Amino acid sequence: MNSIIKEAFSPDLFREEGHKLIDQIADYLNNCYDRKIEQAIPWKDPNELLAMWKNIMTGDKMSFTEIIKGTLDNSVHLHHPRYIGHQVAVPTPHNILSEMVSALLNAGMVIYETGQTSTAMEKIVTDWLCRKIGYGSESGGILTSGGSLGNLTALLAARQKAADYDVWEEGIKNGDDFIILVSEEAHYSISRAGKILGLGNGVIKIPSDENFKMDLNELNRLYNEVTCGGKKVIAVVASACTTSTGTYDNINDIADFCRDKKTWLHIDAAHGGGVILSEKYKHLVLGIEKADSVVIDFHKMLLSPGLATGVSFKNNNDSYASFAQKAAYLWNKDLEQEWFNIGKRTIECTKKMMSLKLFVQLKIYGEDLLREYIESRYAAAIIFTQMIRKEKDFEILTEPQSNIVCFRLNPGNMNGEELNSLNSGIRRSLLEEGRFYIVQTAAKGRIFLRITIMNPFTDENDFNELINEIRRHNKNIDP
Amino acid sequence: MNSIIKEAFSPDLFREEGHKLIDQIADYLNNCYDRKIEQAIPWKDPNELLAMWKNIMTGDKMSFTEIIKGTLDNSVHLHHPRYIGHQVAVPTPHNILSEMVSALLNAGMVIYETGQTSTAMEKIVTDWLCRKIGYGSESGGILTSGGSLGNLTALLAARQKAADYDVWEEGIKNGDDFIILVSEEAHYSISRAGKILGLGNGVIKIPSDENFKMDLNELNRLYNEVTCGGKKVIAVVASACTTSTGTYDNINDIADFCRDKKTWLHIDAAHGGGVILSEKYKHLVLGIEKADSVVIDFHKMLLSPGLATGVSFKNNNDSYASFAQKAAYLWNKDLEQEWFNIGKRTIECTKKMMSLKLFVQLKIYGEDLLREYIESRYAAAIIFTQMIRKEKDFEILTEPQSNIVCFRLNPGNMNGEELNSLNSGIRRSLLEEGRFYIVQTAAKGRIFLRITIMNPFTDENDFNELINEIRRHNKNIDP
């Protein structure tokens, strides 16, 4: 046996490096939560950071601990309460540790044999999700590596189901005869999925109303226009919630519309689907159980490290149709027997053991942790909004429905273009200093600052400081 | 602050549970390598295992350590030298630990801001891969969650490039006018990708020769047949190596053919691409640098936990074309400036920080570990083959080119059907006992036993024992 292989695989090495790493991470978490780390994002220019890591790669010997220190020092600190940037989960200790076990076992998931426990856990977690959505016993789901892949998988099933010929075997005959209707505010992965599936401009954007919800009159109008022209709507996609403003579409009304039209309803609930766990907020997705498919990311509001997306189907058989229409016919009678060969229902062949972290989280904390986390972050958005409303030189874009808030500085003496450039400048200046990480969004042509309150420890003090910092950066960028 | 949230996010909890877990895993690794664990796969019926985990989910309180113990006890043990089943990497300690850091940081990767260090590392690792393939300075690559997604991404670029209209915007006009030519031995993800892309039966299988390589005469014949019929070949896909028999297609000849025909060549080198690191074995992929795109899974022969797939493009600009033809035109001049916004080139929006483990591995061990690992496992396949050849009651399907070997028991007095059912029965019996985990494959209608030598510590003693076990199980299943 070659010595380098023996060395690299040594359990003693694992034990030694592992214990050091655990302490390093625990210290890091403490420093984040206590705000001892000064920046939420240690901004560096991409080329500068690339040069730094290239030097490290080619340079002197370095210990694992030092490489990890460099990595922690030069990464966005999600665990820092002043991280209020994108919709990425702040994972809990048990979730972080569970991912190490998944990495250790490295169970492929295409057939039961390669991932026995992971397969069982995946069924338990996806069944739980279906029940929480309100689906009946004929439902079922799978996990995919991310929401984009999840949306693609669901829309693939919709494409198959709607066509009056076997698309899987015969191919797309005239791409943009197949139409997906989706709000202009929807995540870009929907449009991208349509284009991957060969529909081109067949993904039609429905204008949103003044609150950034899909306009139902427009939905109706465009549906009629499209179908009168001989085209086929294979799916309507609702957002729960939208990415840029955190707005929930009127799912119940859209669901009734789809039922009348016998059209597949897919809900991209990647970010906001977690409200199914909250009595207080589940009205936001009223009617979700009428959808044919729903995507919910565990790595957004469900505290899980990425990637882990639940794709739920009202009718479990539909999920088999995604990938093998013909084979699905053959298997029809035995579908119930096939739950454990997950590769038949996913784009992925080797698929990571994603279920362990979800199972552990549910087993140890039940739904309580997830529910209380979501409720507390949604409530924080309301608190922040109330604070902003009290500041005369700030404005809110729209009443927040989730933990996403869009707002901006508006000193009152500027035109639209000046306001856009003011807020863009402030955001850039904040980023480069790095004490807060917030982002920006364009809403019907107007640039707004945008926060997503993901960190469980972001509080009113942080909000106050953010408001002050924005004013300070405003002065900095003034001519 | 709610107490359950505080408890769940406690750094002290992380430290305590983390140290326990490190010891638990180190002990587990020791027990695997020392073969103190009796089974390589603790086989249980899917429904039985599901019932067990359901009971655990709804049952009494259980510690994290106990849940993990149950998980380890009921999972396939890749780290066990008698695991010689599927092509799944046995990850090294540093790789396992690095994954925990990725989970901690949970960096999304759609734009540079969200994953600064991960983006820099992804460029370093993918550039390294391009250089090893033999690509020039105009090349570039990305990481995707798995080979299926990688093949889909590359073929999407091919679809875009080959069409004489804007498929991305206009949609597929007549799916099976676009043809992908691929050996009948190729991985199913190629055919699946074609069908997702709307080509239906446009994925045409080329018969393989007696050594399971793509038959070049058949490639030529089918190419002419298809193009004379007015269809367009958007890509030829070569395998390096095939999944079922581990055979490398004649890449150099196929590349010359594609150059003459001006057709995109994609190489699915998910399993066998690692030989680019070995002077001894890189002749197997002679000509790989002529391909337009290459997929190599780090989570197969490059010792990485899943998922982590390198998708390399000979011309980096092609990778932008996959997802936004129009935008790619706009950006053309600035493409070089855009290397750090990886979301423009991947199906994934939120994408995991996959690069850290690859960077760490390369930094700490260079290419030596990977090269010596691959060479030792390829050599082990030859040793096993020589051993089998000495046994009169065994036969080899074809001379192995990689660490995949197909063989079977053939007592000499059975017809084809009996032999198939004998070997299937032996494999089932082995699985249920679980001391070895091996699989089976159907090669031109004949069932063979199949091993992939992934574990770095599988040796001649294990092989001897496997041969004896197969004979013992043969007796067991005899009437």
Average pLDDT of the residues in A459-472: 98
pLDDT of A154 strictly over 50: yes
pLDDT in tens, A155-189: 999 998 998 888 999 999 988 899 999 999 999 99
pLDDT in tens, A269-324: 999 999 999 999 999 999 999 999 999 999 999 999 999 999 999 999 888 877 76
Same domain membership, residue A247 and residue A183: yes
> Residue A410 to residues A419, A442, A449, B266: CA-CA distances in angstroms?
7, 15, 11, 53
> Residue B203 to residues A195, B49, B61, B154, B222: CA-CA distances in angstroms?
19, 38, 52, 15, 12
Would you state the pLDDT for residue A314? 97
Would you state the pLDDT for residue A82? 98
Alpha helix positions (H), A287-365: 298-301, 316-321, 325-331, 355-365
Beta-strand ranges (E) seen in B281-435 are 293-297, 309-313, 394-396, 404-409
Would you state the pLDDT for residue A334? 53
* Nearest Cβ partner for B456 among A9, A21, A352: A9
**Residue type for position B346:** T
Residue A257 contacts B, CB cutoff 8 Å: no
pLDDT in tens, A112-125: 999 999 999 999 99
pLDDT of A235 strictly over 70: yes
As for how many domains chain B has, the answer is 3
Residue B329 located in a structural domain: yes
Tell me the CA end-to-end span of chain B in Å, nearest whole number. 68
> How confident is residue B320, by pLDDT bands cut at 50, 70 and 90?
confident
CATH number of the domain where residue B416 is located: 3.90.1150.170
The mean pLDDT of chain A is 94
Contact between B365 and A8 using a beta-carbon 8 Å cutoff: yes
Determine the Cα–Cα distance for residues B355 and B145; give it in Å rounded to an integer: 11
Residue B339 located in a structural domain: yes
pLDDT of B136 strictly over 90: yes
Packing angle of the helix pair A11-33, B11-33 (nearest 10 deg): 170
Q: Which two tokens stand for residue B259?
A: 């150059």
Determine the Cα–Cα distance for residues B433 and A452; give it in Å rounded to an integer: 52
Eight-class DSSP state of B284: G
Residue A383 contacts B, CB cutoff 8 Å: no
Residue B137 located in a structural domain: yes
Residue B199 contacts A, CB cutoff 8 Å: yes
pLDDT in tens, A344-388: 888 898 999 999 999 999 999 999 999 999 999 999 999 999 999
Lowest mean pLDDT among A88-97, B310-319, B324-333: B324-333
Q: What is the pTM of this model?
A: 0.97
- Chain A contact set for B2 (CB, 8 A): 372, 376
CB A398, CB A211: distance < 8 Å = yes
> How confident is residue A109, by pLDDT bands cut at 50, 70 and 90?
confident
Same domain membership, residue A327 and residue A236: yes
Contact between B349 and A147 using a beta-carbon 8 Å cutoff: yes
Cα A474–chain centre separation: 31
Determine the Cα–Cα distance for residues B463 and B260; give it in Å rounded to an integer: 46
Would you state the pLDDT for residue B352? 93
Segment (H or E) for A446: strand A446-452
Would you state the pLDDT for residue B335? 53
Would you state the pLDDT for residue A477? 72
Question: CA of B446, closest CA in chain A: separation in Å?
Answer: 21
Same domain membership, residue B375 and residue B341: no
Determine the Cα–Cα distance for residues B352 and B407; give it in Å rounded to an integer: 39
Average pLDDT of the residues in A35-59: 97
Same domain membership, residue A316 and residue A388: no
Same domain membership, residue B264 and residue B339: yes
Same domain membership, residue B148 and residue B133: yes
Residue B452 located in a structural domain: yes
Greater confidence (B161 vs B303) lies with B303
Same domain membership, residue B442 and residue B416: yes
Would you state the pLDDT for residue A320? 82
Can you tell me which residue has the tokens 């639209």? A416
Residue B150 contacts A, CB cutoff 8 Å: no
Interface of A with B in 443-462 (CB under 8 A): 456-457, 459
Domain extent for A395 = 368-475
Cα B98–chain centre separation: 20
pLDDT of A448 strictly over 50: yes
Compare all CA atoms of chain A with the CA of B59 and give the residue at the minimum distance: A363
B219 burial level (CB within 10 Å; 0-12, 13-18, 19+): buried
Point out the domain boundary residue: B331, B365, B399. Answer: B365
Determine the Cα–Cα distance for residues B46 and A111; give it in Å rounded to an integer: 11
Same domain membership, residue A48 and residue A108: no
Residue B13 contacts A, CB cutoff 8 Å: yes
Same domain membership, residue B361 and residue B373: no
pLDDT of B9 strictly over 80: yes
> How confident is residue B332, by pLDDT bands cut at 50, 70 and 90?
very low
Residue B200 contacts A, CB cutoff 8 Å: yes
Point out the domain boundary residue: B345, B365, B385. Answer: B365
The radius of gyration of chain A's CA atoms, rounded to the nearest angstrom, is 24
Residue A90 located in a structural domain: no
Chains A, B: CB pairs < 8 Å:
479
Residue A226 contacts B, CB cutoff 8 Å: no
Lowest mean pLDDT among A35-39, A332-336, B204-208, B360-364: A332-336
Contact between B33 and A41 using a beta-carbon 8 Å cutoff: no
CB B88, CB A81: distance < 8 Å = no
Average pLDDT of the residues in A390-411: 97
pLDDT of B144 strictly over 50: yes
Beta-strand ranges (E) seen in A370-445 are 394-396, 404-409, 439-443
Would you state the pLDDT for residue A329? 39
Residue B86 located in a structural domain: no
Would you state the pLDDT for residue B175? 85
Point out the domain boundary residue: B328, B343, B365. Answer: B365
Compare all CA atoms of chain B with the CA of A355 and give the residue at the minimum distance: B71
Same domain membership, residue A247 and residue A151: yes
pLDDT of B2 strictly over 90: no
pLDDT in tens, B32-50: 999 999 999 999 999 999 9
Q: Which two tokens stand for residue A474?
A: 């405003």
Residue B80 located in a structural domain: no
Determine the Cα–Cα distance for residues A227 and A233; give it in Å rounded to an integer: 7
> How confident is residue A478, by pLDDT bands cut at 50, 70 and 90?
low
- Chain B contact set for A199 (CB, 8 A): 171-172
Can you tell me which residue has the tokens 């073929």? B155
Would you state the pLDDT for residue B329? 39
- Chain B contact set for A123 (CB, 8 A): 50
Compare all CA atoms of chain A with the CA of B309 and give the residue at the minimum distance: A350
Largest CA distance in chain A: 75
pLDDT of B330 strictly over 70: no
3-state secondary structure of A69: helix
> What is the Cβ-side half-sphere exposure of residue A318, based on CA atoms within 13 angstroms?
26
If you write DSSP's letter for every residue of B104-168 in order, what string do you get?
A: HH----SSGGGGHHHHHHHHHHHHHHHHHHT--TT-EEEEESSHHHHHHHHHHHHHHHH-SS-HH
Same domain membership, residue B159 and residue B60: no
Residue A83 located in a structural domain: no
Percent of chain B with pLDDT over 70: 96
Which sign, positive or negative, has the C-alpha torsion B236, B237, B241, B247?
negative
* Nearest Cβ partner for B170 among A76, A200, A431: A200
pLDDT in tens, B54-78: 999 999 999 999 999 999 999 999 9
Packing angle of the helix pair A355-365, A368-390 (nearest 10 deg): 90
Which sign, positive or negative, has the C-alpha torsion B303, B306, B308, B311?
positive
- Chain B contact set for A99 (CB, 8 A): 99-100, 102-103
> Residue B360 to residues A61, B97, B346, B354: CA-CA distances in angstroms?
12, 10, 23, 11
- Chain B contact set for A359 (CB, 8 A): 53, 57, 67
Same domain membership, residue A272 and residue A186: yes
CATH number of the domain where residue A296 is located: 3.40.640.10
The mean pLDDT of chain B is 94
Would you state the pLDDT for residue B394? 98
Would you state the pLDDT for residue A353? 95
pLDDT of B336 strictly over 90: no
Determine the Cα–Cα distance for residues B26 and B32; give it in Å rounded to an integer: 10
pLDDT of A328 strictly over 50: no
Beta-strand ranges (E) seen in B336-445 are 394-396, 404-409, 439-443
CB A10, CB B34: distance < 8 Å = no
